[in-house]
Amino acid sequence: MEQRREEILRAAVEQIDTRGVGAVRIADVASALSVSNALVLYHFATKEKLVAAAYTYAAEGDLAHLRKLLGRRTTALRRLRAAVRWYAPTGQAKGWKVWIEGWAASLREPALRDVARDLDRQWKAALAEVIAEGVAAGEFHCADPESTAWRLTALLDGLAVQMTSYAGSLPRTTMLRWTDEALARELGVEQGALTGR
């Protein structure tokens, strides 16, 4: 039963990516799995509940990966760079399309807004925690890790909207250079320190 629920959630995320939140239907998710609409509705009583659960599912996957990156046994600076570069939109990141759709839909859907807000808070908290670890270890200086996490995610979110909406408008190398420059500036280190040079 739990496996079927997860299959439905994965299919819902795929359909949101393909069709967008507004256009996706229970029938689309059911059809993708070759199951009945009734089975999808058995697990999720409404489209709104399915969409909110799909975003929660996607968020949990992203947060698990973030925690894995930030939990590595290396310096805080290396962990932060790995997390920021993973979060940065590369132009190939399918997840960004889904999240941008979610942000737009959350303007009208309170349940979806709660999921997006919770994910955002957890991302910022995880980054701020590692920034504080780096400060405590004397790796770099940062007077306000929470504000730094806010500024970094705001930059990355904005780049994601641009890179996803206007594919090819910015070379990937430029976008990654900007993210490295922002991280180095926020932490008061030379950019070469991010790569160990």
Residue range 53-67: average pLDDT? 89
pLDDT tens sequence across 132-153:
999 999 999 999 999 999 999 9
- At residue 122, the pLDDT reads 92
More confident residue, 28 or 102: 28
Residue 72 CB: number of other CB atoms within 10 A? 11
- At residue 93, the pLDDT reads 52
- At residue 30, the pLDDT reads 94
- At residue 17, the pLDDT reads 86
- Asked if 76 and 83 touch (Cβ cutoff 8 Å), the reply is no
How far is 23 from 39, CA to CA, in rounded Å?
20
What angle (nearest 5°) sits at the alpha carbon of residue 128, between those of residues 125 and 129? 85
Q: What is the largest CA-CA distance in the chain?
A: 58
- At residue 197, the pLDDT reads 58
Residue range 85-92: average pLDDT? 73
Predicted confidence (pLDDT) at residue 127 exceeds the cutoff of 70? yes
Residue 26 CB: number of other CB atoms within 10 A? 20
Q: Which residues of 115-136 are buried (b: 16+ CB within 10 A; e: fewer)?
A: bbeebbebbbebbbebbbbbbe
Q: How far apart, in Å, do the first and last CA atoms of the chain sit?
A: 51
Q: 76: closest CA among 149, 153, 147?
A: 149
How far is 121 from 117, CA to CA, in rounded Å?
6
pLDDT tens sequence across 100-119:
888 888 888 888 888 889 88
- At residue 8, the pLDDT reads 95
- At residue 20, the pLDDT reads 85
> What average pLDDT does the chain have?
89
Predicted confidence (pLDDT) at residue 124 exceeds the cutoff of 90? yes
- At residue 94, the pLDDT reads 58
Predicted confidence (pLDDT) at residue 60 exceeds the cutoff of 60? yes
- The pair of three-digit structure tokens given for residue 153, joined into one six-digit string: 């995610």
How far is 64 from 35, CA to CA, in rounded Å?
29
